[in-house]
A and B are shown apart, each in its own frame.
Chain A
Amino acid sequence: MARVYNWQLGREMDYPYEGSRPRKQWAGVFDINKCIACQTCTIACKTTWTSGPGQEHMFWNNVETKPYGFFPLGYDVRILDALGPQAWQGETYSGQTIFEAAPSGERLLGWRPEDEDYAHPNIGEDEIKGRIDRGHAIAIPHEHWMYYLARTCNHCTYPGCLAACPRQSIYKREEDGIVLVDQQRCRGYQECVRGCPYKKVFFNPHTGVSEKCIGCYPRFETGEVSACFAACIGKIRLQGWISPPDQAREDNPIDYLVHVRKLAVPFMPQLGLEPNLYYVPPIHVPDAFLVQMFGPNAPQAVRTYREAREDPVLRGLFCLFGSSDRVLSRFRVDGDVAIGYGDDGDEVIRVPVTEPIIERPATDRLYQIRRVNTP
């Protein structure tokens, strides 16, 4: 095992390979509080990439309802349970990662789902944390909570799938950090299915090899966002590049949200993979659950989010979520306008931070008629 630095843990950790960050890293931020679980992202991905034989059970993108929704069944609670206590000392993780907790003879701590675990991709949909008894519904804040969690492959800096593959059939692209299964090299051993704690590598029983989210690299290479990002009707998603914290740029929208404002946090960072999808955490969830799911910075991220409306830069940046099919690598907020720039520095999108309000009198004096709102 080599020693690599994982900034999400605030420390070095064991990993089977030497640390080597890509030149640029594919990343995204999801504002969970805006997600309505319409599954448009899921279907956008499904129809684009996984409509072939043997892919029936695959959802490279899925949206589940927390706390009781999973795909595949119990994927997160299974690994969290196996890993044991996960303690943080401030922003430093003092527990074990899945690499450090590897049993003897294994490269990491992993498990394989049963076939049936893939059978109900939207199990637990809309279920809340507990039963609504008399009075619960009218108490504010609500005692019971739920939230939607949209997920794709995290294109991790230290991928579990890549670490687990004994054939090195999985690789991380130098140019964008996207993690791919080499479809020519794969022999279907499913060590990657076992090793990915997010269970985002899938075995294709028709071809006998494993497949996973490809980050829509054919789109990404041309500066377009991934299909699931482009299709999001709730505009909860922002795609771009993330830098290591010591190279963070204030004008990079992802860096700004993750590193500068610490408003977007990774999913289960304690597992040690340094995942590259970041979440604006749900605001109604108890801190203990937030910390377990999104790390020690999640409660503070919620507080920052609650005040974002009063913050001109954050307010402007949130207006750029879902505003364009192009990848935004730079942004600025100029008064009441948020502007996004592409990789080549050209302006890609310009949106008003406050939508103009136009008052239309109930009576049109020119035509002498009353206006009627027709929905």
Chain B
Amino acid sequence: MTIDLVRTACALALAASALGATACDSRPDHVIARRASGELPRTDPLSSAWDGLPEHEAPLVAQNVIEPHLTEASVTKIRVRALHDGRWIAFRLEWEDATDDHNVTTTVFSDAAAVQLPRTREARPTIMMGNDGTPVDILFFRAAWQTADNMGELYPNMPPIHHPPEAAAEGPARQEMERHYQAGVGAQNPTVVRPDGASVLAFSAEGYGTLSPPEGGYAATGRGVHRDGRWYVVLAREIGEAASSPVAPGRSVVAFAVWNGSNGEVGSRKNRSEWIELEIQGGGS
């Protein structure tokens, strides 16, 4: 009888979920990526393609192993849905954050999120961004990266300043000047020189403090939307060679991290999950 009651409760919860309420019992205990029936919503976190998919809710804890710490988690749970089309996989993350922090000053950072995967399906790197010889791949979203004019938003009353690169004509001459006058551009910093102003970048790491562009690279894209006190962010990447890819159909693991910029969270000051089982289904959704 008890089992029947639970089943009934779950059925009711599922019905409630369809109406927008939460129902923890109905959620899978791992992340499930179904095969998309239509186009993969790689840059649209609010696409209807995300509706009705299994949603995993992962608890987050404050990162307090590597200094500097986050002493108390500001985001305690994150909801994850996933889809793939055989070539790309996309994760749709959703979490509560009252403020949309998409500009960076010395006291407020950018809201951000990351998806961490082992380099190969069988590998089990440490949760702290992998370890020597056992790398992880990291998809990294920063709200600041999708803001067109950070300086204009931050300092709307700043008087017009003539910067030296503006003396050069548009085109290669100005680009050359910008390399000289913006050291991050000149050094080709991957977070500064982003392809087409991407808001999601592909990285790899072999331990904390080693976030770097991945060897050989893999394509990544995504987009975030802040609505009604919640972030909805899609982070997508190429699946790559199916034989070894951690995101080809089969079973692997995945982990997530979220930063609340207005809480001073940046770098290692983050809310993180543990490794979570990732099931990538081959069939249609």
Report which A residues bind B (CB closer than 8 A): 51-54, 56, 104-107, 112-115, 118, 164, 166-168, 182-191, 193, 203-209, 211
The reply to whether the CB of B181 lies closer than 8 angstroms to some CB of chain A is yes
Number of contacting residues on B, CB 8 A?
40
Q: Report yes or no: B68 in contact with A205, Cβ–Cβ below 8 A.
A: no
The reply to whether the CB of B46 lies closer than 8 angstroms to some CB of chain A is no
A56 to B24, CA, bound (A): 50
Known pairs A105-B64, A106-B69; A52 contacts B164 (CB<8 A): yes
The reply to whether the CB of B144 lies closer than 8 angstroms to some CB of chain A is yes
Shortest distance from the beta carbon of A44 to any chain B beta carbon, whole Å: 16
Out of A106, A113, A191, A208, name the residue touching B104 (CB < 8 Å).
A208
Residues 64-106 (chain B) with a chain A CB within 8 angstroms: 64, 66-69, 71, 103-106
Q: Report yes or no: B187 in contact with A183, Cβ–Cβ below 8 A.
A: yes
Shortest distance from the beta carbon of B135 to any chain A beta carbon, whole Å: 16
Binds A, one of B11-19, B150-158, B218-226, B242-250: B150-158
Shortest distance from the beta carbon of A357 to any chain B beta carbon, whole Å: 47
The reply to whether the CB of B47 lies closer than 8 angstroms to some CB of chain A is no
The reply to whether the CB of B59 lies closer than 8 angstroms to some CB of chain A is no
Q: Report yes or no: B182 in contact with A205, Cβ–Cβ below 8 A.
A: no
Residue from A185, A193, A207 with most neighbouring chain B CB atoms (10 Å): A207
Q: Report yes or no: B68 in contact with A191, Cβ–Cβ below 8 A.
A: yes
Report which B residues bind A (CB closer than 8 A): 64, 66-69, 71, 103-107, 109, 144, 150-151, 154, 158, 161, 163-165, 181-189, 191-192, 208-211, 264, 266-268
Q: Report yes or no: A187 in contact with B191, Cβ–Cβ below 8 A.
A: yes
Q: Report yes or no: A115 in contact with B144, Cβ–Cβ below 8 A.
A: no
Out of B68, B103, B104, B210, name the residue touching A107 (CB < 8 Å).
B68
Q: Report yes or no: B182 in contact with A54, Cβ–Cβ below 8 A.
A: yes
Q: Report yes or no: A206 in contact with B106, Cβ–Cβ below 8 A.
A: no
CB closest residue in chain A, given B162:
A51
Q: Report yes or no: B71 in contact with A205, Cβ–Cβ below 8 A.
A: no
A235 to B107, CA, bound (A): 38
Out of B67, B106, B164, B187, name the residue touching A114 (CB < 8 Å).
B106
Q: Report yes or no: A189 in contact with B164, Cβ–Cβ below 8 A.
A: no
Q: Report yes or no: B165 in contact with A52, Cβ–Cβ below 8 A.
A: yes
New A-B pairs, 19, CB < 8 Å, besides A105-B67, A187-B211, A207-B184: A52-B165, A53-B161, A53-B163, A53-B165, A56-B158, A104-B71, A107-B67, A112-B106, A118-B106, A183-B186, A183-B189, A184-B188, A186-B189, A187-B191, A187-B267, A207-B183, A208-B192, A209-B191, A211-B183
